[in-house]
Amino acid sequence: MVPQSLRPGFALLGAVQATLIFTIMILSVPLPLVAREFGLGPSGVLLLSAAYGLSFSSLLLLGGRLADRYGGRRMLRTGLLLLAAASAAAATAQTFPVLLVTRFAQGVGAALAAPAAVAVVRALFPRTADYGRAMATWGGLSVLGATAGNLLSGAVTAWASWRWLFAVPVLVALAVLARSAALLPPAASPLPPAGPPSPRLRAGRLTARLTGRLGGRLPGGLDLPGAALAAGGICASGYGLVAAGENGWRAPVVLGPLAVGVALLLAFAAVERRTAEPLLPPGFLADRRRAAALTAVMATAAGTALTFLLLPLYLQQVRGWGALATSAAFLPYAAVLLTAGRLAAPLTVRYGATAVTAGGLVVAAAGLALLAGLTPGSPYATGLLPGLLLLPAGAGPAFAGASALATGGVRPGRTGLAAGVLNTAMELGPTTGVAALMALAATRPTVVGGYAAAFAAAAAGLALTAAAVALSTGNTSRPARITHTQEYSA
């Protein structure tokens, strides 16, 4: 539980996290209406739905390092200012290119704000046990924000215009900016010293200075070349996956970006091994439990985002439902999610993050498997509702446990890095993961058959991830529970 004196600050930061994920889903229900207004084809629809997530996920590592270097509160304010400006511009966009650019800009602001918010949470809760409990609650905020985006988008679209949805991130950003100085600590800045550098590290720095390799870095030693390679690799790969849904896997417009993206990511990995102060230290993901937790976050985010994308399209385009009725169909989902979210943190404390994550993944996989039975005439009560109840019952605990695992055992000076990696996994699911599943759906002869195949593949992915999380307990480099008070230097 969050101490009474810290609740206002934690609530403020929680509103930021929920709003950033809410903004991903802001066009989920009105997407068919937006497509008709701007005359978009399938690729345009997928690109618009993925634009925010692509820029968000590709810049999170840099955002995390900036939060560690310059302080969480400062970077939180910077990110929220950019998010508010981009959201206001999106609300008034009159052409598709303008709307697309503003969605990318929203993602840039979110990439700065998300890891900064976690860095401030770490400053609010300096004790490891308290921070672990806070992060277990934090994990549920993401899926809560996604659900709120789905519900509110239908209501606002039915009663007003989809453009008013962009007022939500503007208002939240302004509210947080107004109260941040009073309620939030600045968070640690800069990184605490890790001891004298090794002879090899000193030699690498000297060589870098002599050869001018440091000239491409941001002030403070941040790895700008690595940031550029990571951002380019994620964006190119994501675009290739998006394009595969309409063009097929063998099209040059698909193979070209995928090849470029893979090459850039391989170059990023090579640069990180040779850079004195890497954006993502190679050993950071060596912990099997942390790697499995990040995979769980990615898989769960992909499964929930797929549901929020496909079911509104199915209900509106196949069944002929309106936007308001489509949003109302997710009310039971929201009710179960709220209940699961309240239970997730105490369950994580009692049974351990690993057990809660693996169990949640199994339940969520069962929900997606039920949705894989989708047909053109599936009744809501027996064909959709059971899956919509099981999925949030598992997704809430899975996010909570995985968030605690992924960020636990990290010293305060690396909190922004851990948060950036966590949020990168959270955003890669709804972008690259959903794009890949939609490309699979496009290979089926019917639309509904493709939707069912995508749900089945997502269910299988979550089940396999649950097994990987359970097996990760073989690594004892840090505890499975979050009640320990020992600090780790990962």
For residues 352-374, give the mean pLDDT.
Answer: 95
Confidence bin at 245 (pLDDT 50/70/90): low
Answer yes or no: is pLDDT of 237 > 70.
Answer: yes
For tokens 């490891």, name the residue.
128
Residue 170, in any domain of the structure: yes
Residue 480, in any domain of the structure: no
Residue 369, in any domain of the structure: yes
Residue 490, in any domain of the structure: no
DSSP string, 147-182: HHHHHHHHHHHHHS-GGGGGHHHHHHHHHHHHHHHH
Report the CATH number at residue 326.
1.20.1250.20
Cis ω for the linkage preceding 97 (within 30 of 0):
no
Please give the mean pLDDT across all residues of the chain. 82
Residue 354, in any domain of the structure: yes
Give strand pairing partners of 222: 218
Which tokens in the block code for residue 158? 């039915």
Model confidence pLDDT, tens digit, residues 115-124: 899 888 888 8
Interatomic CA distance for residues 9 and 120, integer angstroms? 9
Answer yes or no: is pLDDT of 392 > 90.
Answer: yes
Interatomic CA distance for residues 122 and 186, integer angstroms? 11
409: DSSP letter:
T
* Least confidently predicted of 325-329, 346-350, 406-410: 406-410
Residue 11, in any domain of the structure: yes
* Predicted model pTM: 0.74
User: Residue 278 is part of which domain span?
Assistant: 4-186+199-474
Higher pLDDT, 22 or 78: 78
Interatomic CA distance for residues 364 and 306, integer angstroms? 13
Higher pLDDT, 442 or 216: 442
Give strand pairing partners of 218: 222
Which tokens in the block code for residue 399? 């996010």
Which tokens in the block code for residue 360? 């949640």
Which tokens in the block code for residue 113? 């704000």
Q: Could you tell me which residues come within 8 angstroms of residue 170 by beta carbon, excluding any fewer than 6 positions away?
A: 84, 87, 88, 91
| CA 25 to mean position of chain CA atoms | 12
Residue 484, in any domain of the structure: no
Helix then strand then coil, % of the chain, to nearest 5: 80, 0, 20
* Least confidently predicted of 191-205, 215-229, 246-260, 295-309: 191-205
Number of domains in the chain: 1
Q: Is there a contact between 396 and 337 (Cβ–Cβ < 8 Å)?
A: yes
Higher pLDDT, 171 or 437: 171
Confidence bin at 184 (pLDDT 50/70/90): confident
Answer yes or no: is pLDDT of 365 > 60.
Answer: yes
Per-residue model confidence (pLDDT) at position 379: 93
285: DSSP letter:
G
Interatomic CA distance for residues 341 and 451, integer angstroms? 28
Per-residue model confidence (pLDDT) at position 204: 46
Residue 29, in any domain of the structure: yes
User: Could you tell me what percent of the chain has a pLDDT over 90?
Assistant: 32
Q: Is there a contact between 115 and 135 (Cβ–Cβ < 8 Å)?
A: no
